[in-house]
Chain A
Amino acid sequence: MSARCGGLARVAIALGAGVLLATSMAAEAAASAAPGGVRLPEFERVTLDNGVELALMPKRDTPLVAMNVVVRGGLLADAPGREGTAALLAELMQKGAGARDGAAFAEAIESVGGQLTIDAGAESLSLGASFLARDLGLMIELASDALLRPRLNATEFDKVRERAIQSIAAAKDADPRALVGQYGNAWLFRGHPYGRPVGGSEESLAMVTLEDLKRHYEAQVRGDRLIIAVVGDFDTADLRRRLESAFGSLGRAAAAAPVATRAPTVEGRRVLLVDKPGATQTYFWLGNVGASRTDPERTAQAVVNTVFGGRFTSMLNTELRIKSGLTYGARSAFDRLAEPGAFSITSFTATESTVQALDLALATLDRLHAEGIDAATLESARSYMLGQFPPSIETNGALAARLTDLLMYGLGRDDVDEFAARVGAVDGAAAKRVIGQSFPLSRNLAIVLVGDAARIREQVGKYGPVTEMKITDPRFGPR
């Protein structure tokens, strides 16, 4: 049930006497092989006449096949005040499509041991599927039904929307670690699309209508918005024909895909205190605008982040956990999107040590800027990233997701193949440069604290002007 690490790259949860599991968050730090690194296996790229991009990677070492489909748009296409439109559409596409109603669609997936889910993201919808290779045809049928022929049934819509609202309430009763980032993004990116909750809030979901979903569908789920990657045991020419037949009829979009502009960085500090009465721990998130998926300095940023908050012995985890025992884990990360997402520091501590832990986190950020990184630590971080990279593209599903990611952001296979070389080239000068450019100063931060406000309200005013809300408020940021 209980594991050693959660805050960093490790989370463990338990249920009952004998069961447990530990999952690792994909650390940005995870990066390429020993000497020379690993290469992305060969794959074929095709663009269909209607703009659908295909990436097909045959791989014959397991009887499983994985598919990943990205549809550009996502939350960026949601109307203001109607956040959650894309998320509800993603859910509703699975509740009846083609010849199957919702129950039959689920039955078709599960009766063969398959998995197929559709989720919304900040700038895309994403379908992920894993089936036994013998069911490749069924997987394509179900995926194309969901994307091309969703029923978008009104009764199902009402249920999906209601359940989405209730699920947020349930999440607010559960571990705040899962939610603090949503409050963080809302507080950092005020008025910017990246600050809007992908899954919506209780308040915005109540405003979304089935017509909103249909509008999103008609405008965004079009051929030239689709990227499809398939990895597994198949014949490439045969699969290409099947996909062309399944997706080739989708029309092109009438307008360009929505894009975000670069958000302004936060100057000074501001504090959002989210009251969770009775909480015995304060969960905190400190952030500013970070870096994009295609930032030319992304490798150097990742090396520095590995040192600062991306692995167990990182500066943050060393100070807040290893040396002081204030927390189970402290970490930092970059959210990488087309434009810079958040750079954030997250941790949690007993309510009575809130100020001690926050002071220590800020002092550690100051130390990164003041002292930089010594040569031995830099070398260690490079080795760590190289050593941990191969497992990040080990499975068919991980490879399919990587392929759509490369195509989505206009990156080539060198993003993987030359990873090791790029990591090896990050020297002290590069580290120093990105510390100055991409890591915020402690005086410029959006700060979110989720905890028992009555016990910490007075003390946290020293970090900046405090805005307060309740965790039960039906939104993720103040009005």
Chain B
Amino acid sequence: MNRPSLLALGLVLAVAAAPLAAAPAPVAGADRIVSRTLPNGLEIVVWPDDDIPNVAMYTWYRVGSRNERPGITGLSHYFEHMMFNGTKTRPPGEFDRAMEASGGRNNAYTSSDVTVYQNWFPVSATPLIFDLESDRMRYLDFDPKVVESERGVVYSERRSSVDNDNFGTLIEQMQATAFIAHPYQIPTIGWPSDIEGWKVEDLQAFYRQYYAPNNAVMFVVGAVDPEEIFALAERYLAPLEAQPAPPPVTTREPPQLGERRLRIQREAQTPIVAMAWHSTAAPDRQTRVMEVVLSILGSGDSSRLHQRLVEREQAAVQVGTSLDQGFDPGLAWIYAIVPPGGDPANTVRLIDEEIARLAKDGPTAPELAKARNQALAGFWRGLETISGKAQALGTYHVFHGDYRKLFDAPAVYEGITAEDVRQAAATVLRVNNRTVGVLEPKPADTPTPERAAAAAGGAR
């Protein structure tokens, strides 16, 4: 079937947001996980797994767009790109060429909270990968020509994921509206004028401040011997110097005092509605409860919102949920794609009715059991691959303080009661605590901002 790209997004998020299941889960090989902290503060966690002759190495830095400010929005993500673009010992491009020639592949991602570098490689390439990682952690350099070309790459990324995608456009504006004080208001990709404005000095300051061994954790999962990994770490990573801890993010979002409404007009056939409520931070137990709330409301075709909006009333082509899980309290999201010609207000009203019903009566026993089973299955699916294991270890270690908590997740979900769910729905999904965004088709004769700017000679 033909589906909008955000369908896939919604499904994957629903699964990713639901790692769960009872008593420390009996995961084969979990007893082989070992960790060590180098004197410079760099933590290394190793999970030996011989299923395939490969390794997943994920290096997490505790820095993201939450650490930015006006003028340098998007810098964390742009910096992530620049981590591949040359050091004092290797010219731009050499990092990728060497890794691919040894059979390895890489990627990286940046969120509001963290920046994560991923390497996937045959075990034979392990020493080279340590060499490459340590080199860019220690000797990163910024070639002015590459600084400019990479700016174009990131701008293209922004056009793809935000400017030419109606869903991306709406979500960015909602985030900027829902937070009036906390830097979660900043889009990770960066505002266009900042993308045009980043300077080499910004990158240099950022490198010193955030790319320190004591601000990072490395996870190595695959067909490796932990002692050999620790020996490589001693050789390549121990020489990195610890730095003063980066300045903490201290701003707290003040309580929201009333509903915020946002309306935007774009070239569109299908309206979109999205709702976002202030929720809790990753390690907060309430965040686990909110996962269950959103699962019951919107996870899968049997969920309340899908059955009501999509199947029974045809007020949505698709409905989905998502939950931010970061260092600071994030947002709980519900969104719906409205059929062409449909009334967004009606879709919002139906969502409101379903929320009110859950907040009043709570979930049924079968619904609660379903949410737990989905969580349990999601937990196991997340651990099917070495990449999934590296991601799961990192999530729990960085956001929950200890990778071992991963294995308690199923039991945590088992402990959530129907009253927990009802109460969370009632306290979080309140009208005064939310931002409602509607993207609607622009009347035919309105000039687009892009064309207006182009006519004025100002478009990039």
Report A's interface with B, CB cutoff 8 A.
1-6, 9-10, 12-24, 33-35, 38, 61-64, 87-88, 90-91, 94, 102-103, 106-107, 109-115, 119-120, 130-132, 159, 162-164, 166-178, 182, 197-200, 276-281, 311-313, 318, 321-328, 348-350, 352, 379-380, 383-384, 386-388, 390-391, 394-396, 452, 454-455, 472
How distant is the Cα of A177 from the Cα of B9 in the complex, in angstroms? Answer: 14
Given the contacts A167-B318, A280-B163, A174 and B4 also touching, CB distance less than 8 Å: yes
Closest chain-B Cβ to A330's Cβ sits at a distance in Å of: 10
Query: Which of B157, B310, B333 contacts A328, CB < 8 Å?
Result: B157
How distant is the Cα of A280 from the Cα of B149 in the complex, in angstroms? Answer: 18
Given the contacts A38-B52, A313-B93, A387-B125, A14 and B188 also touching, CB distance less than 8 Å: yes
How distant is the Cα of A87 from the Cα of B156 in the complex, in angstroms? Answer: 33
Contact B100 A9 (CB under 8 A): no
Given the contacts A17-B331, A163-B317, A280-B164, A171 and B5 also touching, CB distance less than 8 Å: yes
B407 at the interface (CB under 8 A from A): no
List 6 interface pairs A-B (beta carbons < 8 Å), by A numbering: A16-B322, A17-B66, A22-B109, A169-B269, A171-B3, A313-B100
Contact B270 A22 (CB under 8 A): no
Contact A172 B385 (CB under 8 A): no
How distant is the Cα of A312 from the Cα of B106 in the complex, in angstroms? Answer: 9
Contact A391 B5 (CB under 8 A): no
B376 at the interface (CB under 8 A from A): yes
Contact B300 A106 (CB under 8 A): yes
Query: Which of A16, A349, A386, A395 contacts B276, CB < 8 Å?
Result: A16
How distant is the Cα of A348 from the Cα of B164 in the complex, in angstroms? Answer: 11
Closest chain-A Cβ to B187's Cβ sits at a distance in Å of: 8
Q: When each residue 34-76 of chain B gets 1 if its CB lies under 8 Å from chain A and 0 otherwise, what string results?
A: 0000000000000000011110000000000110000000000
How distant is the Cα of A181 from the Cα of B186 in the complex, in angstroms? Answer: 33
How distant is the Cα of A106 from the Cα of B303 in the complex, in angstroms? Answer: 9
How distant is the Cα of A281 from the Cα of B162 in the complex, in angstroms? Answer: 11
Q: When each residue 441-455 of chain B gets 1 if its CB lies under 8 Å from chain A and 0 otherwise, what string results?
A: 000000010110010
With most chain A CB atoms within 10 A of its CB, the pick from B163, B266, B300 is B300
How distant is the Cα of A92 from the Cα of B371 in the complex, in angstroms? Answer: 25
Cβ contacts under 8 Å, B326 to chain A? 17-18
Q: Which of B165-173, B209-217, B421-429 is the contact stretch?
A: B165-173
Cβ contacts under 8 Å, B107 to chain A? 3-5, 10, 22, 24
Interface size on B, residues (CB 8 A): 125
Closest to A379 in B: B101
Cβ contacts under 8 Å, A10 to chain B? 107
How distant is the Cα of A395 from the Cα of B161 in the complex, in angstroms? Answer: 29
Closest chain-B Cβ to A328's Cβ sits at a distance in Å of: 4
How distant is the Cα of A440 from the Cα of B102 in the complex, in angstroms? Answer: 29
Contact B109 A4 (CB under 8 A): yes
Query: Which of A17, A19, A197 contacts B2, CB < 8 Å?
Result: A197
B408 at the interface (CB under 8 A from A): no
Q: Which of B12-20, B228-236, B237-245 is the contact stretch?
A: B12-20
How distant is the Cα of A82 from the Cα of B180 in the complex, in angstroms? Answer: 51
Given A16-B171, A166-B317, A387-B121, 15 more A-B residue pairs with CB atoms under 8 Å apart are A1-B109, A2-B80, A2-B161, A4-B80, A6-B160, A14-B161, A14-B171, A17-B111, A34-B103, A110-B300, A113-B376, A166-B270, A281-B163, A380-B100, A387-B105
Cβ contacts under 8 Å, B450 to chain A? 278-280, 452
With most chain A CB atoms within 10 A of its CB, the pick from B111, B179, B451 is B111
Report B's interface with A, CB cutoff 8 A.
1-7, 9, 12-13, 16-17, 28, 51-54, 65-66, 77, 80-81, 84, 92-93, 96-97, 100-113, 118, 120-125, 148-157, 159-161, 163-168, 171, 175, 179, 184, 187-189, 266-270, 276, 282, 299-303, 307, 310-311, 314, 317-318, 322-326, 330-331, 333, 337, 339-340, 366, 369-370, 373-378, 380-381, 383-387, 448, 450-451, 454, 459-460
Contact B269 A130 (CB under 8 A): no
Closest to B182 in A: A17
Contact A132 B376 (CB under 8 A): yes
Closest to A29 in B: B105
Contact B111 A312 (CB under 8 A): no
Closest to A311 in B: B100
Contact A159 B314 (CB under 8 A): yes
Closest 9 CB pairs of A and B: A387-B103, A325-B152, A113-B377, A325-B149, A199-B2, A18-B326, A18-B324, A278-B448, A113-B373
Closest chain-B Cβ to A303's Cβ sits at a distance in Å of: 13
Contact A326 B152 (CB under 8 A): yes
Contact B9 A3 (CB under 8 A): no
Cβ contacts under 8 Å, A173 to chain B? 4, 166, 266-270
Cβ contacts under 8 Å, B384 to chain A? 62, 64, 394-396
How distant is the Cα of A34 from the Cα of B102 in the complex, in angstroms? Answer: 10
Contact A171 B4 (CB under 8 A): yes
With most chain A CB atoms within 10 A of its CB, the pick from B160, B314, B454 is B160
Closest chain-A Cβ to B150's Cβ sits at a distance in Å of: 6
Closest to A107 in B: B302
Cβ contacts under 8 Å, A12 to chain B? 109, 161
How distant is the Cα of A113 from the Cα of B97 in the complex, in angstroms? Answer: 42
Closest chain-B Cβ to A86's Cβ sits at a distance in Å of: 10
Query: Which of B52, B84, B311, B448 contacts A4, CB < 8 Å?
Result: B84
Given the contacts A4-B109, A113-B373, A21 and B12 also touching, CB distance less than 8 Å: yes
Cβ contacts under 8 Å, B168 to chain A? 13, 175
How distant is the Cα of A62 from the Cα of B376 in the complex, in angstroms? Answer: 13
Contact B111 A14 (CB under 8 A): yes
Cβ contacts under 8 Å, B4 to chain A? 167, 170-171, 173-174, 178
Cβ contacts under 8 Å, A162 to chain B? 314, 339
Contact B302 A390 (CB under 8 A): no
Query: Which of A109, A114, A174 contacts B5, CB < 8 Å?
Result: A174
How distant is the Cα of A169 from the Cα of B369 in the complex, in angstroms? Answer: 36
Query: Which of B52, B81, B184, B310 contacts A391, CB < 8 Å?
Result: B52
Contact A174 B325 (CB under 8 A): no
Query: Which of A107, A167, A386 contacts B103, CB < 8 Å?
Result: A386
How distant is the Cα of A104 from the Cα of B87 in the complex, in angstroms? Answer: 58
Closest chain-B Cβ to A296's Cβ sits at a distance in Å of: 25
How distant is the Cα of A322 from the Cα of B145 in the complex, in angstroms? Answer: 11
Closest chain-A Cβ to B59's Cβ sits at a distance in Å of: 13
Contact A174 B301 (CB under 8 A): no
Contact A384 B164 (CB under 8 A): no
Cβ contacts under 8 Å, B187 to chain A? 1
